[in-house]
Amino acid sequence: MNTALLINTTGLVVRERRINESDRLLNILTPDRGLITAFADGALRLKNKNSAATGLLCYSKFTLYHGKDTYKVNEASAVNVFFRLREDIVKLTLAQYFCELSKNLAPEEENADEYLRLTLNALHLLAEEKRSPLLIKAAVELRMLILAGYMPELGACRECGGHQDDFLFDFDGGILCRNCFAGQKNAVPLSKGVLAALRHIVSSGFERMFSFSLPQNTLEELCRVVERFLLVQTECAFKTLEFFKTL
Ligand SMILES: [Zn+2]
């Protein structure tokens, strides 16, 4: 008896590996089932019907066979392949990094709708050059950390609860006033502009999270703070991030 179920879903291909001459193994970020791993047999053959919709960064409609513990792509048709991301190595690398982030942080086999919306929105803004790449990077990193449960406390000093206006960012997940800082190594001074941007990214609604602007030096400071916070909290190494830094 064939116990495989046929399911329909949309999803973003966040990782694609070649497993032999003609087959692909995909990690797909779906809204309802989170991250799933699926085989796309024959997808590397040029004339294969699923070839165009199963590459990295393809957002596609899938019909999948769900077997005992594997998924297999029956049909895939592309909804958006983010063609313009391929125009530029910086955009493409950041897009791949956002995929690697969601591959590491999104849950498997449970709802990941917000991870998917965040990643798709970021790819769209990046492709269409609606925001600066560094701004998109910092906002995606911080919002994805929040989705994964790493919410920094930015309201007041995490030690004394004070509301001074001179804070340091504590990479354990919050802000510290000068009095409470006491020379800890795991904290850096925070300019007012960066603190305001962090608070905006953390507290704004989905539609507004990318709607801010900063002078270039403040934006670079924001990026350093958020990236280090991400690396400290996740304890992950991201290959695509390392490559991005060489560009
Ligand atoms: Zn304090």
pLDDT in tens, 77-120: 999 999 999 999 999 999 999 999 999 999 999 999 999 999 99
Domain span including residue 11: 5-81
Note whether 213 and 115 are same-domain residues: yes
Tell me the backbone φ, ψ of residue 80, rounded to 5 degrees: -150, 125
CATH number at residue 22: 2.40.50.140
Note whether 101 and 223 are same-domain residues: yes
174-177, strands of its sheet edge to edge: 153-157, 174-177, 167-170, 187-189
Query: How far is ligand 1, taken at its centre, from the CA of residue 229, in Å?
Result: 20
Which of 81, 116, 140 lies at the terminal end of a domain, its last residue?
81
Contacts of 80 by beta carbon, 8 Å cutoff, 6+ apart: 58, 59, 120, 124
Q: Which residues on adjacent β-strands are paired with residue 7?
A: 64
Query: How far is ligand 1, taken at its centre, from the CA of residue 171, in Å?
Result: 15
Query: How far is ligand 1, taken at its centre, from the CA of residue 158, in Å?
Result: 7
Note whether 88 and 203 are same-domain residues: yes
Which of 81, 109, 144 lies at the terminal end of a domain, its last residue?
81
Cβ-contact 194, 179 below 8 angstroms: no
Query: How far is ligand 1, taken at its centre, from the CA of residue 181, in Å?
Result: 7
Cβ-contact 134, 219 below 8 angstroms: yes
Note whether 77 and 88 are same-domain residues: no
CATH number at residue 221: 1.20.1440.120
Instruction: Name the residue type at position 27.
Output: N
Note whether 147 and 230 are same-domain residues: yes
pLDDT value of residue 165 = 79
Contacts of 30 by beta carbon, 8 Å cutoff, 6+ apart: 9, 10, 11, 36, 62, 112, 116
pLDDT value of residue 1 = 45
Dihedral, CA of residue 148, residue 188, residue 161 and residue 198, to nearest 10: -50
Q: Which residue has the tokens 């925070």?
A: 190
Query: Cα–Cα distance between 38 and 50 in angstroms, integer?
Result: 13
pLDDT in tens, 202-219: 999 998 999 999 999 999
**CA nearest 34: which of 125, 148, 158, 181?**
148
Residues with CB under 5 A from ligand 1 (ion): 157, 159-160, 162, 177, 180
Note whether 148 and 61 are same-domain residues: no
pLDDT in tens, 11-63: 999 999 999 999 999 999 999 999 999 999 999 998 899 989 999 999 999 99
Note whether 62 and 100 are same-domain residues: no
Dihedral, CA of residue 76, residue 77, residue 83 and residue 85, to nearest 10: -40
Which of 81, 113, 144 lies at the terminal end of a domain, its last residue?
81
pTM, rounded to two decimals = 0.94
Note whether 119 and 72 are same-domain residues: no
Run of H or E including 66: strand 59-66
Query: How far is ligand 1, taken at its centre, from the CA of residue 172, in Å?
Result: 15
pLDDT in tens, 167-179: 999 999 999 999 9
How many domains is the chain partitioned into structurally?
Answer: 2
Note whether 20 and 131 are same-domain residues: no
Burial of residue 34, with CB atoms counted within 10 A of its CB: 0-12 exposed, 13-18 middle, 19 or more buried? buried
Q: Which residue has the tokens 């000093």?
A: 157
Query: How far is ligand 1, taken at its centre, from the CA of residue 200, in Å?
Result: 22
